[in-house]
Amino acid sequence: MSRRSRAEIERAGIEAIRGWQVDQDMFDEAAAAYVGINRTDARCVDLIDRAGRMTAGQLATAAHLTSGAVTAVLDRLEEAGLVRRVRDPGDRRRVLVEVTPELAAVSAPIYGPLVEEGVGWIAKYSDDQLETILDFMERNREILARHTIRVMQMTAKRERQAAARAG
């Protein structure tokens, strides 16, 4: 039984989430700098790594980037040796992007110790507790995805209005 009130627990939860987001952002920044890429490139290579082979268009959709921006990202990632473009074996006209073994090699010293430490403390949670944490994280991701789109639409609307006033 908790000694804190429901309101105190909710406030502490919100603060924990906000703190985690800042800490994650700083870690991601440090990881990207270590690899020698920018944050957008890091996000894109992670999307490719998690999804497997994909087209540039699929990456553009997943990363909320224009096709031109994705082309530049892929050029940089390919030059860094982290991804490669390959012909789709099912449709030779189509090009897919996949990660290279170099990604695992440069990622291991960054994420290996983090995963190792995380496995240790995750083992201390019961299956039911882990199910609750997983449910929370999945719901949080759904909410963030919806609100990311909402804020992007707000930004686009503001930019259109500013252009109309200037034009």
Q: What is the pLDDT of residues 74-93, one digit of tens each?
A: 999 999 999 999 999 999 89
The rounded distance, in Å, linking the Cα atoms of 155 and 63 is 16
Q: Which residue, among 7, 45, 39, 41, has the nearest Cα to 26 in the 3D structure? A: 39
CA distances to 45, 50, 125, 149, 161 from 99, in Å: 7, 10, 33, 27, 40
Please report how many Cα atoms fall inside a 13 Å half-sphere around the Cα of residue 25, on the Cβ side: 6
Supply the pTM of this predicted model. 0.88
What pLDDT shows up at residue 1? 66
Topology of domain 6-124 in CATH is: Arc Repressor Mutant, subunit A (1.10.10)
Low-confidence ranges of the chain (pLDDT < 50): none
